[in-house]
Structure 1
Amino acid sequence: MLLLLPASRTIRIVNMTYQRYYFIYRVGVAIAKPYSTRPTLQKMAVASQQSVAKIKPRETLDDVDAANKISDSGVARLKEAVEGRLKADVGNSVDLAGSVVAESVKLGGKAVPLHNAVDPGELEWKEFGGAQLSSLPGHYLMLAKFRLTALVVLSSMGGYVMAPYPLEATTLIGLAVGTGLVSSAANAINQFLEAPFDAQMPRTRNRALVRGLLTPAHAVGFALGSSICGSCILWSFTNPATTALGIANLFLYTSAYTPLKRLTIANTWVGSVVGAIPPLMGWAACSGGSLEAGAWILAGVLYAWQFPHFNALSWNLRQEYSRAGYRMMAVTNPDLCRTTSLRYSIGMIGICLAAPMLDVTTWTFAFDSMPLNLYLTYLSWNFYKEADSRSSRKLFRFTLLHLPLLMLLMIISKKHHSSSSDASGAKEALVSISPISEGMPELKPVIQMESKLVS
């Protein structure tokens, strides 16, 4: 089409397209800049230089002779210890080929290594040399946040199993694979956007993008491919409603939750909505796109569970979140953090009681889930009163056990709609239309065949 246009206009269009995409490229470079400068490692180097043990002048040093008698083996052992410590601190991403004891003081012709002395040049970030093919699966698992993605997949499969409809293996597998790919894409985009801030927190500074194991463009390509493949699998093996829920959750996580983390504490509520959508996807995949009361009960369980879970986790990470600029409840409003955890723990009891009332489960689920929910409330109450690392840690660990046990009890107590009642209803429908077939002889063979299948 460009060949049919005048040369000047064609050049103008090409130039405009180039400028537009070059602008997008420059934005990406600006975002990627912290990956190449690594200010955290440079600060580490400066701090280590400031903490160097000060050596007194020769004329005032009482133990010069002792210092001069340091053996070569002692220096070698000290060098190995410092190298091991540095490797642990910077995640094996620093090249320690040179001598770690470069900074030293000459005393009587002997080199005395200074403790914690690190040359800042040794911590300079190196240009990306390309990832090896054999290491890509591990890097992709880090990008996808494998454990979080596994939880999302399991919650969607729980919604599929809980739906009172026939189960199909192909649909269930397609749901699991598609949901996993879409979740992996969302997590990869999240890490791409937050890599400069992840570098400032010990909990996240070993992620693939922070360490430079993958380029930002590679991560975006992985996210794009995963999102497209996951959406196509959901569309092919489930239905449009499930696919729409998956795509909406992808955009909600990357475009709403991720930026809100640095703006307002409302990000926790948005993140809880993100966590509540996977069981809706599973239910919709099994039901053909409809969402009955049981789907919303499951979504309510996942929504309420995330408040005691995440608030307890973030309580011991307040300093890290504050340093990185994340506005979490534990940082900006600690009282609300503790109150919200207790409030939704109590709300979990009401949600589980509503399940048998809405004919989703039997009443045994209400009694079986009560001890779990009461203990969750008890731990949340302790966290509310004491507000220390011990109470928050106990609450967080129990939430990891609480959710799978609660989902298992719900599946065991699932209200099975008997097939006999459905069969009797089908027979009644056939009997009701049988008189009509008397005037239409061509329908008799069809009705006879249907009656055999129903019986």
Structure 2
Amino acid sequence: MAFCSFFGGEKYTAHFENGSYGVRLFCHWTLPAQRLLQWMGAGKMTAGVRQASGKLFRLRPIFAPAQGLMVFSRDGRGSSTLQAVQTRPLPAVDNGSTVAPGPKGAESDGSAARRNGSETEMEENPEDGRKKWSEMRIDLGMLPGIYARLSKIRLTGLVVITAAAGFGMAPVPFDPVLLLAASLGTGLTSCSANTINQFLEVPFDSNMNRTKNRPLVRCQISPLHALLFAGATGTCGVLLLALAVNPLTALLGTANLVLYTCAYTPLKRLSVLNTWVGSVVGAVPPVMGWTAAMGGIDAGALLLAVLLYSWQFPHFNALSWSLREEYSRSGYRMMSAVDPDLCRRVALRHSLALSVLSFVFPVFSLSTWMFPFTCLPFNAYFGYRAMVFYFQTDRRSSRKLFFSSLWYLPTVLLLLLLHKPRAVYESRINQPEVSEGLPGIS
């Protein structure tokens, strides 16, 4: 296609044809960077990128070229072995239309139109018999849905909700315009982080049923287009937080963006510590909401961060338990795949810690003393589900713990807002303002 032709796609045709599926995807997504390095005169560095891509996938094979699927298996002693599983090509799927049987080579007008309108189509080069990419065509009507999937819109919505909860808990007069600016800036920053995360994980997302239909994996959008979208949303989000909210909130948003893309994302294939780093990332949005309202960080912001930090362990560990085979096949070092006992212990510890944490909020005058007792039945049930998951270790118990975490967090945040100590907040609001004028001038 014109895009890959501009970025030197013809030079890597042989690499695409001979390499494994993961290598082909990795080289495809790094073509813009390689072409940019060549344009800057860094030919040796470009060759190093291609060589490193081959070494990466030889060390951690994802797909065998034609023989079958390479998977990791663990025996009773905890050792991992690499095995080849024979696979066969899937039959073609007809999207909603039935093709009448006919002679070999015959096809209906509908199937021909679909093939001709596909975004990534391979055409035969009559000169040298090699294949080349055709032009990518994107339906503008599909862009909003593609952008939503790139942004992980449900995860971004949860981030915005937690940031709004932090804003609402701050003991200051409510400012809806400031809340809107803080929520929009936080959401745009989250969209950018999630898009960059998908761009970096395309070769590995293709091996998981949960992520194989993401836009970049399905080639519904070019990697350059995705990076431009990530840059635009990230820049607009940080600028909005800096200009319409305050510099501290913008700094937190930028730091969280860097932490998610440059620390959490690569750690997923290196160490189980990625879960702890990811929990820190998830704990920052309520702090951003608090600093947007208050302009600083104090005990209230830190307690909200601890609440989100502890909640993410039972939430994510329960989710990853059902996906541990896929994580292992893709090379992700998650607790559920590397150390299942640690996964269950950590989920139970933090579930019980949430019950204790609810009694700390009244100590710092962030809620009334009715709050921990109102949360008691919810904390007890959430801890019970974590305990069942710890002892039974099956998919059914992990799913129940995961779905319990989905309603637990918004319930606790809502109860926090309902049990704000009004008297303390009103005394804070009614304090006389300090004049900022010159001495003697009112």
CA distance in 2, matches of 1:126, 1:41: 20
Q: Which residue of 2 aligns with 1:11?
A: none
1:274 aligns with 2:296: no
User: Which of 186, 196, 199 is the equivalent residue of 1:189?
Assistant: 196
1:101-112 correspondence runs (5 A):
none
Retained in 2: the 8 A contact 1:311–1:341? yes
User: 1:160: which partner in 2?
Assistant: 167
Gap runs ≥5 in structure 2: 1-35, 70-85, 106-121, 124-130
| Of 358, 376, 379, the match for 1:352 | 358
Q: Residue 348 of structure 2 corresponds to which residue in structure 1?
A: 342
Question: Does 2:402 match 1:396?
Answer: yes
Equivalent pair of 1:252/1:274 in contact (CA under 8 Å): yes
* Cα distance between partner residues in 2 of 1:183 and 1:414: 28
Tell me whether 1:143 sits opposite 2:183 in the alignment: no
Partner of 1:54: none
Residue of structure 2 in register with 1:284 after alignment: 291
Aligned partner of 1:47: which letter? T
- For residues 48-447 of structure 1, what are the structure 2 equivalents within 5 Å? 48=88, 83=92, 86=93, 127=134, 129-288=136-295, 290-417=296-423, 421=427, 426=432, 446=442
Gaps of 5+ in 1: 1-13, 52-81, 104-120, 431-439, 447-455
Q: 1:354 to 1:255 in 2, by over 3 A?
A: same
SS in 2 for 1:426: coil
Amino acid across the alignment from 1:48: R
* CA 1:424–1:387: 2 relative to 1, 3 Å: closer
SS of residue matched to 2:138: coil
Per the alignment, residue 87 of structure 2 pairs with 47
Q: CA deviation at 1:371?
A: 1.0
Alpha carbons 1:182, 1:226 under 8 Å: kept? yes
Q: Deviations over 1:10-47 (max 9, x none)?
A: xxxx9996224995799599979x9xxx9699769x83
Aligned residues: 359
Asked whether the equivalents of residues 193 and 230 of structure 2 are also in contact (C-alpha less than 8 Å), the reply is: yes
Q: Is the Cα–Cα contact under 8 Å of residues 293 and 360 in structure 1 kept in the other structure?
A: no
Aligned partners of 2:156, 2:430: CA distance in 1, in Å? Answer: 43
Partner-residue secondary structure (3-state), 1:402: helix
User: 8 Å contact 1:40–1:199 — kept in the other structure?
Assistant: no
Q: Which deviates further from its counterpart, 227-236 or 124-133?
A: 124-133
Q: RMSD between aligned alpha carbons? A: 3.7
Matched with 2:41 is 19
Q: CA contact under 8 A between 1:238 and 1:285: conserved in structure 2?
A: yes
Aligned-pair CA distance for 1:416: 2.6
Identity of aligned residues (%): 43
Q: Which has the higher helix share?
A: 1
Note if contact 2:385-2:401 (Cα within 8 Å) is conserved in structure 1.
yes
Give distance in 2, aligned partners of 1:319 and 1:423. Answer: 54
1:339, distance to aligned residue in structure 2 (A): 0.3
Corresponding residue for residue 59 of structure 1? none
Maintained 8 Å contact 1:361/1:415: yes
Aligned to 1:354, the other structure's residue is in SS state coil
Contact 1:40-1:200 within 8 A present in 2 as well: no
- 2:29 paired residue number: none
Which digits, 9 at most, give the CA deviation of each residue in 1:316-361, with x for residues without a partner? 1011000000000000000000000000001101111100111111
Q: 1:22 to 1:183 in 2, by over 3 A?
A: farther
Q: Give the 3-state SS of the residue equivalent to 1:166 in structure 2.
A: coil
Amino acid at match of 1:410: L
Distance 1:388 1:125 in 2: 47
Q: CA deviation at 1:293?
A: 1.1
Contact (CA 8 Å) 1:128, 1:212: kept in 2 or not?
A: no
> Judging changes above 3 Å, is the alpha-carbon distance between structure 1 residues 371 and 133 closer, same or farther for their aligned structure 2 residues?
same
Q: 1:423 to 1:339 in 2, by over 3 A?
A: closer
The structure-2 alpha-carbon separation of the partners of 1:16 and 1:341, relative to structure 1 and needing over 3 Å to count, comes to: closer
TM-score by length of 1: 0.71
Distance 2:333 2:165 in 1: 32
C-alpha contact 1:156 1:281 (8 A) present in aligned 2: yes
Sort the Cα spacing of 1:424 and 1:164 in 2 relative to 1 into closer, same or farther, 3 A.
closer
Contact 1:185 1:227 in 2 (8 A): yes
Separation in structure 2 between the aligned mates of residue 125 and residue 335 of structure 1, nearest angstrom? 49
**Residues 171 and 425 in structure 2, CA contact (< 8 A), matched pair in contact too:** no
Q: Secondary structure at the match of 2:366?
A: coil
SS of the equivalent of 1:19 reads coil
- Residues 29 and 233 (structure 1), Cα distance of their counterparts in 2 relative to 1, 3 Å cut: farther
Give the secondary structure class of the aligned counterpart of 1:190.
Answer: helix
Work out which of the two has the higher radius of gyration on C-alpha atoms and give 1 or 2: 1
Aligned to 1:3: none
Letter in 2 for 1:394: K
Question: Partners in 2 of 1:306 and 1:101 — Cα distance?
Answer: 57
